[in-house]
Amino acid sequence: MGKMVSSPRRKRAVAESVPEITTFSSAVRYLYDRVDFERMRVVRYDETMFKLDRMRQLLNGLGNPHEQIRTVHVAGTLGKGSTAAMIGSMLQGAGYGVGVFSSPHLIDVRERITINTHRIGKSDFTRLMREAAGVAAKMSTEPTFFELCTAAAFKHFADQVVDIAVIEVGLGGRLDSTNLIIPLVSVITRIDYDHTHILGRTLPEIAREKAGIFKRGVPALTIEQPREVEEVLRDAARELDVELRILNKDIEFSCRFGASDALGPHSRVCVLTETSQFMHLPVPLPGEHQAINCGLALAVVDVLKRSGFEFPEVPMNEGLAATRTPGRMELVWNQPRILIDGAHNPAAVGALMRSVGAYVPYDSLICIFGCCADKDIPSMLSQLASGGDKVIFTRAKWTPRAADPGELHRQFTERTGKMSQVAPSLPKALDLATRAVGRDDLICIAGSFYLAGEAKKYLAQLARKRQQR
């Protein structure tokens, strides 16, 4: 893993050397050799490590592409990826060219940068990383993995002249490398406890970091939050003359759960404003929490209308219905049924445990679980115990942040009194699970996007081997 530049000698070395990036593999190798906070166990969250001046310098060297595109900015603890995906799908359905920048990825880093759901091509990715590396070599400190990804996304969207880009915050908001854009609307999804060692130990502290994406005079949207969170968001909005509207308070919202032959179990939402009436629209994503995310995405559509965007009803609704979010309650195998979900904090694990049975009926739920060591593990284990009939602890292969599965097993037993098993790797965990599963049972792999991505890749390789026989 790369290190942050500090010494003058190291600075001169960086300035004098431009890495040779001629192939996609060399571009990926260069990127993964940079500092990657997503994979680090300990991160100091301050203006030294998360340096927007460094990001400004990188973007300036690339021609400030972020100033050439219209954007929507999405932050939050839970649901920002799903909300961003639904916004992008409705815009695409309405006929616009839509870039979406999201994180993390499951298998291929190019998943983070898409236009109309098509990931950036390998040749474009290679060229952009070569350009970024050329700029980085002249900088006093090296850009990080996420900064380079962000810059590549902005440059790609500008080069392809997208009509609008939906930009998902990576971490927090105030110091996130995406926070140099001036969007058409700022969006904050549910705020909960996550990255508490970085963003703060209390909800108000976390909320202040998320509210850092507010820009003077730019309208903002959020959902109903705990009282202390809403107070922080409203105070931040007042300071910057931001019109902050809260779904189900300032914007009329309702939802109901049901089932139909065509859609199966699903939620429907209504969102009413002074200028829009979105009535009884099916939520395209499974999970009880997705109804509020869908309502928030529809509120964003209403704001975008003020900026001249047009949303014909039928194409927009068809776009919403086409929304897909890989790695979130995604069925990736049929016999036995295997579902993956990147739930990586207590609230997300709880939502998964509450929702999975309503959308994917089963007799028994076998959970394969592995999370990062810096998470609120006791709370995650309590949520896991509320739904899993059988639990197998393992660890993702490619992250040093992974918690020891034996330690997860020990804490789970002490906290819940329930039995569980330990497997040293995901393939061995799947072997244990498939031996125990019945025809109507469900295997659920959750705890981190690292584990979900590894599972998806492993099962895809397994499917290809079977086809070749």
| CATH number for 410 | 3.90.190.20
- Mean pLDDT throughout 47-58? 80
Residues 278, 269: contact at Cβ < 8 Å? Answer: yes
E strands in 130-195: 164-168, 185-188
Closest CA relative to residue 79, chosen from 351, 279, 298, 267: 351
Residue 231 lies in a domain: yes
Residues in a beta bridge with 176: none
For residue 91, tell me if it sits in a domain: yes
How is residue 386 written in tokens?
């509320």
Provide CB contacts within 8 A for 190, sequence distance 6+. Answer: 76, 77, 78, 79, 223, 225, 289, 292, 347
pLDDT for the residue 398 = 81
**Are residues 314 and 336 located together in one domain of the fold?**
no
Is the predicted pLDDT of residue 173 greater than 50, yes or no? yes
- Write the pLDDT tens digit of every residue in 118-129: 999 999 999 999
Is position 394 within any domain? yes
Other residues' Cβ atoms within 10 Å of the Cβ of residue 401: 18
Same-domain status, 198 and 303: yes
**pLDDT reported for residue 224:** 96
Residue 181, in any domain of the structure: yes
Q: Are residues 423 and 463 in the same domain?
A: yes
CB proximity list for 65: less than 8 A, separation 6 or greater = 59, 151, 154, 155, 157, 158, 159
Number of domains in the chain: 2
Are 203 and 265 within one domain? yes
Residue whose C-alpha is closest to residue 459's, from 372, 368, 284, 339:
339
Residue 340 lies in a domain: yes
Note whether 437 and 366 are within 8 A (CB): yes
Residue-wise pLDDT tens digits, 218-239:
999 999 999 999 999 999 999 9
Please indicate, yes or no, whether residues 301 and 338 belong to a single structural domain of this protein: no
**CA separation (Å) from 186 to 25, 131, 168, 270, 455?**
35, 29, 10, 21, 34
Distances (CA, A) of 152 to 43, 62, 148, 362: 23, 9, 6, 43
The answer to whether position 121 is within a domain reads no
Under 8 Å between Cβ of 64 and 136: no
For residue 56, is pLDDT > 90?
Answer: yes
Residue 330 CA: distances (Å) to CA of 243, 451, 458: 36, 13, 15
Q: What is the pLDDT of residues 384-421, one digit of tens each?
A: 999 989 999 999 988 888 999 999 999 999 999 999 99
Taking only the tens place, the pLDDT of each residue in 187-210 is 999 998 876 556 767 999 999 999
Q: For residue 153, is it within any domain?
A: no
Residue 7 is predicted with a pLDDT of 42
Give the residue from 254, 263, 83 showing the smallest Cα distance to 167: 83
Q: Can you read off the two tokens belonging to residue 154?
A: 């902005």
User: 289 and 217, same structural domain?
Assistant: yes
Q: Please give the structure tokens belonging to residue 325.
A: 């979010």
The residues near 383 (Cβ < 8 Å, ≥ 6 apart) are: 346, 349, 350, 353
Beta-bridge partner residues of 272: 252, 277
| Claim to verify: residue 293 and residue 437 sit in the same structural domain | no
The secondary structure element, H or E, covering residue 204 is helix 203-210
* pLDDT greater than 50 at residue 172: yes
- pLDDT for 171 equals 87
Q: Per-residue pLDDT for 71 more than 80?
A: yes
What tens digit of pLDDT does each residue of 7-34 get? Answer: 444 444 444 467 799 999 999 999 999 9
Mean of the pLDDT values across residues 76-103? 97
Q: The domain containing residue 419 runs over which residues?
A: 330-468
Question: Same domain, yes or no, for 360 and 243?
Answer: no
